[in-house]
């Protein structure tokens, strides 16, 4: 039989989460962010599930945008990092994509381009993230140059919040944005998942929900996914493939980082960092065995990890294990491992078989 690890993708949960995002968006266009292979869930799978309800999509790669158009997607597609060389622009126009313009080099490419048809663009303002975007000083000139170009049909102003998921919030960046955008008469795109869920004043005309579509909270320390009505989309499962009985003083795994304080029973799970489970997940990371919550023990290996079965005497070889997903929030696992659910999902290894369910 094949190795028992598998990931299940719940397509109806994905649609459910998008509907929550859309309900929070009011009349705004809600672009489903499907970058990074739909956060590890499968680009084509996610777009197929959302194709009849999503207002549009946002991703990074021109080739992926072409794949969506070839698959029959007619909704707007935004390129969040825009284009990278002049040759890209002809494809952008041909496919009627909406690239982000975030720097001088892209402006120059547009000014020099001869396009078969005009395009819609997203003009990005750096309001404090200090990653991509025109500064407050450079923005007016950039806007004027875009407005002068016959190759540009429409402009949407956008920014990205750096701390919408914590106590700092968006007020400082939003104030900068409003000052710059005032009087422009242009539509705006502001809210990512956290801002959409926490700050209705940031909805604007276009929102960009990402992680919430996949069932995780963008701010788990402030509000859990379940409280937001979100459903997990990816569930990673495996089985116990071995059992060991320990006595006090015996250690578990590479480096012997866990030492039994008394008699213990441990299970060995067919899942390791080569499957995408975080190697840095420490002892006490939550895990479900037979539907009951227990903990990992010791260091995660390439292909296996250990868990505590001491209080689960009926569980043994063949018992089902949930690493994250249904009944075990990926946010809880990520928090224990000192990371975020985004990384868990994106790290799912190609060797893990993926199945779909629709309900």
Give 157-206 pLDDT, tens digit per residue. Answer: 999 999 999 999 999 999 999 999 999 999 999 999 999 999 999 999 99
Specify if 221 maps to a domain. Answer: no
Specify if 225 maps to a domain. Answer: no
Do 117 and 248 reside in the same domain of the chain?
no
Catalytic residues: 35, 254
pLDDT band at 131 (very low <50, low <70, confident <90, very high): very high
Strand-strand pairing, 6-10 and 98-101: unpaired
Note the pTM of the prediction, 2 decimals. Answer: 0.96
Is the pLDDT reported for residue 1 higher than 90? no
Q: Taking the alpha carbons of 69, 351, 254, 322 in that order, is the dihedral positive or negative?
A: positive
By three-state DSSP, how is residue 353 classified? coil
pLDDT digits (tens, 9 = 90+) for 61-86: 999 999 999 999 999 999 999 999 99
Specify if 2 maps to a domain. Answer: no
Distance CA 112, CA 108 (A): 6
Specify if 267 maps to a domain. Answer: yes
**Structural domain boundaries, residue 133:** 11-216
Question: Which CATH number characterizes residue 141's domain?
Answer: 3.20.20.10
Do 44 and 162 reside in the same domain of the chain?
yes
CB atoms within 10 A of CB 131: 10
pLDDT band at 339 (very low <50, low <70, confident <90, very high): very high
Do 19 and 168 reside in the same domain of the chain?
yes
Is the pLDDT reported for residue 359 higher than 90? no
| Average pLDDT of every residue of the chain | 97
Averaged pLDDT for residues 260-266: 98
Averaged pLDDT for residues 197-224: 96
By three-state DSSP, how is residue 294 classified? strand
Averaged pLDDT for residues 10-26: 98
């Amino acid at each position: 039989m094949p190795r028992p690890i598998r990931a299940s993708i719940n397509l109806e949960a994905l649609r459910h989460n998008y509907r929550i995002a859309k309900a929070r968006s009011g009349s705004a266009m809600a672009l489903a962010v499907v970058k990074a292979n739909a956060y590890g869930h499968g680009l084509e799978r996610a777009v197929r599930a959302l194709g009849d309800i999503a207002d549009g999509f946002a991703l990074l790669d021109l080739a992926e945008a072409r794949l969506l158009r070839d698959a029959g997607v007619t909704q707007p597609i935004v390129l969040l990092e825009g284009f990278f060389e002049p040759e890209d622009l002809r494809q952008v126009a041909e496919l009627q994509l909406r690239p982000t313009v975030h720097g001088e080099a892209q402006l120059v490419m547009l000014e020099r381009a001869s396009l078969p048809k005009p395009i819609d663009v997203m003009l990005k303002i750096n309001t404090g993230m200090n990653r991509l975007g025109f500064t407050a000083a450079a923005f007016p000139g950039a806007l004027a140059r875009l407005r002068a170009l016959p190759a540009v049909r429409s402009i949407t102003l956008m920014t990205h919040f750096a701390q919408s998921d914590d106590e700092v919030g968006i007020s400082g960046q939003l104030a900068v944005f409003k000052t710059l955008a005032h009087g422009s008469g242009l539509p705006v795109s502001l809210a990512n998942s956290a801002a959409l869920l926490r700050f209705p004043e940031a909805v604007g005309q276009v929102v960009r929900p990402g992680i919430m579509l996949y069932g995780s909270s963008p701010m788990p320390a402030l509000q859990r996914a379940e409280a937001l009505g979100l459903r997990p989309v990816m569930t990673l499962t495996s089985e116990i493939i071995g059992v060991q009985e320990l006595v006090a003083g015996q250690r578990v795994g590479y480096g012997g980082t866990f030492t039994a304080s008394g008699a213990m029973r441990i299970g060995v799970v067919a899942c390791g960092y080569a499957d995408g489970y975080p190697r840095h997940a420490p002892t006490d990371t939550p895990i479900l065995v037979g539907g009951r919550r227990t903990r990992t023990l010791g260091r995660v290996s390439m292909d296996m990890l250990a868990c505590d079965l001491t209080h689960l005497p009926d569980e043994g070889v063949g018992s089902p294990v949930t690493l994250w997903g249904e009944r075990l929030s990926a946010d809880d696992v990520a928090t224990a491992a000192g990371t975020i659910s985004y990384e868990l999902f994106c790290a799912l290894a190609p060797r893990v078989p993926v199945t779909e369910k629709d309900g």
